[in-house]
């Protein structure tokens, strides 16, 4: 890949970033998009914009950047908790360490790589990116000690900064726990795999067990039921209440009116919607209460229960110790918060969980293997000239110089990014099938899976596939494998430079705009004519953003000495991410 192809990719991504940021600064001011952009703060700041047409709403501005930079850690804790602060400190650490690495590598190592061999140099735009990597340094060069010293300095400073960051986060966590009010989850233990003595209710067995072994701290318990049809009825009733709560006696007419369907193209008269008198509503609600006792008899007990303790210490001890010699019986864990419980997995038998974990692990591995095909194809695009030499039928495929720059410098990373959009939903599905008991645990499991996928498929597979494409006789001489890897791998680092541009800069800008949220908001309001759900608060997608930041950190550490050109682009990504993510979290 030439410098001109890299500059073409950088120009396209810079243009996309400017376009997305400008559109976001305009769209966030529109009253119709309040719920899309985490709209609590936007509703407060721009409530006056609902009244009349104001030109300011359609002029791009940078006020959101200033507010994001002025946001303190106390504001982040109040808005999104300690998770947001820890994520923000990851970005701060990356900015600090790669700023130092950029100073050392760009001004110290990059000139050594460029003049590493006595070869004639062309103009900078016509140079190959390999000229700026360590692969251009002569064998047994007397300047290799500079690379080693810089590598040790970066590693030592990274260890010191990691220690400082961990100490800072630990202090914040202690302060937060000290100030926080006690929550129900801190006094509650979820017990699964209950060993029942009779075929009747397991409530008495739970009470006898914890009264016998935790008598000093045990308070009471609640058995978990698998509701079945009752749960569906309750869920449907809650949805109906949310949809009908905006109706009042004044807004609903007693007379029959024409019904206009959601498509807004046809209508018909009907008398199916009539306002019931108050006494009939009371009588119907009374009948419903009588029927509830009948429906509740269909509840099916699960081998799980929530056990409540008098003290946090008693709950913590009960959750940590092994209750019986059989590790699948009377399994205890600290219960999640009420809003965090994932009820669909509470009723799963505990003995079934290890089977689910093995099955999801195998499914994740198979998905990683299937993903090898698009990654190899993408690496083929980056090494188009090599493929044309190895396969003559590709000659003449691309004749336009600018088309070659776009194909080799921009298209591969775009195709890879499109494929990567399918990773997070699939890994979230695998994590759900594992049987987690809380939404946070499900996100944490999905985050780990996505991180392993990125490290394997984006990093290692790209290096290996690019190496095989460049060296089709790779396995002909096993003794030369280390030498061939040393020659080829520095050249593969040039692909990651374009990947940072596309998956970093452009992806952050699209994340800021919330493209999928905008499309769904438009369909819901103007096509489906659905009412706005004011109780829904979107959560920050940690399971997709944390692995991405860690992947770019891995690319920075591994490629800083091999290909120093990646560091300026990484620094721009982390600075942009620092502003974008703080804005997303606080809004």
pTM here is 0.78
CA distance 467 to 473: 10
Eight-class DSSP state of 506: I
Question: Residues near 357 by Cβ (< 8 Å), separated by ≥ 6?
Answer: 434, 435
286 located within any domain: no
Tell whether 10 is covered by a domain: yes
| Cα distance between residue 197 and residue 216, in whole Å | 24
Extract the tokens encoding 526.
């103007």
Instruction: Characterise 529 by phi-psi region: left (phi > 0), alpha (psi -120 to 50), beta (else).
Output: left
Q: Return the sign of the alpha-carbon dihedral for residues 96, 97, 98, 101.
A: positive
Residue 123 lies in a domain: yes
Total number of domains in the chain: 1
Pick the closest to residue 214 from 308, 132, 338 (CA basis).
308
For residue 28 the two structure tokens come to 């966030």
- CB burial of 224-249 (b: ≥16 within 10 Å; e: otherwise) equals bbebeebeeeeeeeeeeeeeeeeeee
Which pLDDT belongs to residue 487? Answer: 67
d(CA 288, CA 207): 32
pLDDT of residue 495: 75
Q: What is the C-alpha to C-alpha distance for residues 137 and 559, in angstroms, rounded to an integer?
A: 15
Residue 97 lies in a domain: yes
Tokens 């009420």 belong to which residue? 338
Query: 37-61 pLDDT, tens per residue?
Result: 755 554 444 444 444 556 677 778 8
Q: Is the dihedral angle over the CA atoms 456, 427, 165, 333 positive or is it negative? A: negative
Kindly give the parts of the chain with pLDDT less than 50.
42-51, 248-298, 472-475
451 in a structural domain: yes
Our separate counts of H helices and E strands in the chain read: 24, 6
How confident is the model at residue 85, as a pLDDT? 92
Q: In three state form, how does the secondary structure of 80-93 look?
A: HCHHHHHHHHHHHH
Instruction: Count CA atoms within 13 Å of residue 395 on its CB side.
Output: 5
Any domain includes 234:
no
pLDDT digits (tens, 9 = 90+) for 524-538: 777 877 766 555 566
Other beta carbons within 10 Å of 563: 29
In a domain, 184, yes or no: no
Could you tell me if residue 388 is inside a domain? yes
What residue numbers bound the domain in which 426 lies? 3-179+356-586
Kind and range of the H or E element at 177?
A: helix 144-179
Residues 405, 7: Cα–Cα separation, whole Å: 9
């Amino acid at each position: 890949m030439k410098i001109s192809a890299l500059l073409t990719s950088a120009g396209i991504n810079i243009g996309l970033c400017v376009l997305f940021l400008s559109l976001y600064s305009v769209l966030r001011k529109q009253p119709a998009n309040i719920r899309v952009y985490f709209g609590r703060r936007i509703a407060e700041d721009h409530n006056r914009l609902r009244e009349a047409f104001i030109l300011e709403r359609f002029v791009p501005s940078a006020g959101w950047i200033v507010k994001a930079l002025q946001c303190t850690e106390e504001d982040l804790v109040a808005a999104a908790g300690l998770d947001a602060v820890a994520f923000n400190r990851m970005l701060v650490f990356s900015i600090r360490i790669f700023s130092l690495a950029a100073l050392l590598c760009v001004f110290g190592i990059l000139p050594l790589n460029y003049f590493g061999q006595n070869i004639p140099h062309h103009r900078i735009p016509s140079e190959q990116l390999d000229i700026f990597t360590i692969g251009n340094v002569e064998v047994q060069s007397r300047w290799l000690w500079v690379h080693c010293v810089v590598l040790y300095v970066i590693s030592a400073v990274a260890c010191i900064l990691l220690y400082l960051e961990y100490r800072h986060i630990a202090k914040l966590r202690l302060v937060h726990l000290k100030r926080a009010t006690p929550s129900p989850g801190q006094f509650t233990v979820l017990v699964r795999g209950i060993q029942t003595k009779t075929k009747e209710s397991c409530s008495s067995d739970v009470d006898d067990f914890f009264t016998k072994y935790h008598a000093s701290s045990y308070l009471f318990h609640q058995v978990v039921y698998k509701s079945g049809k009752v749960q569906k009825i309750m869920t449907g009733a809650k949805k109906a209440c949310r949809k009908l709560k905006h109706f009042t006696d004044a807004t609903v007419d007693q007379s029959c009116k024409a019904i206009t369907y959601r498509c807004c193209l046809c209508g018909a008269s009907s008398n199916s919607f009539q306002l019931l008198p108050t006494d009939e509503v009371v009588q119907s609600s009374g009948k419903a209460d009588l029927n509830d006792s009948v429906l509740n008899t269909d509840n099916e007990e699960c081998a799980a229960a929530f056990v409540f303790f008098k003290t946090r210490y008693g709950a913590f001890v009960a959750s940590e110790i092994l209750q019986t010699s059989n590790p699948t019986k009377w399994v205890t864990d600290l219960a999640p918060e009420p809003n965090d419980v994932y009820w669909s997995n509470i009723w799963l038998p505990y003995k079934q969980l290890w089977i689910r974990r093995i099955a999801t692990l195998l499914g994740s591995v198979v998905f990683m293997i299937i993903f090898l095909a698009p990654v190899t194809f993408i690496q083929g695009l980056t090494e188009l000239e090599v493929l044309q030499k190895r396969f003559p039928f590709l000659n003449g495929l691309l004749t336009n110089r600018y088309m070659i720059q776009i194909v080799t410098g921009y298209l591969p990373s775009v195709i890879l990014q499109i494929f990567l959009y399918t990773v997070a939903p699939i890994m979230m599905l695998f994590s759900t099938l594992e049987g987690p008991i809380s939404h946070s645990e499900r996100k944490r499991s999905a985050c780990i899976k996505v991180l392993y996928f990125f490290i394997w498929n984006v990093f290692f597979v790209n290096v290996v596939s690019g190496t095989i494409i460049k060296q089709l006789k790779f396995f002909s001489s096993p003794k030369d494998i280390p030498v061939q890897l040393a020659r080829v791998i520095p050249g593969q680092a040039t692909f990651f430079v374009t990947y940072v541009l596309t998956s970093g800069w452009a992806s952050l800008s699209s994340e800021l705009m919330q493209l999928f949220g905008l499309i769904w908001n438009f369909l819901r309001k103007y096509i489906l004519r659905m009412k706005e759900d004011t109780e829904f608060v979107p959560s920050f997608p940690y399971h997709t953003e944390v692995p991405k930041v860690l992947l770019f950190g891995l690319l920075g550490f591994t490629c800083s000495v091999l290909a120093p050109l990646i560091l300026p682009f990484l620094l721009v990504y982390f600075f942009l991410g620092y502003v974008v993510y703080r804005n997303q979290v606080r809004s």
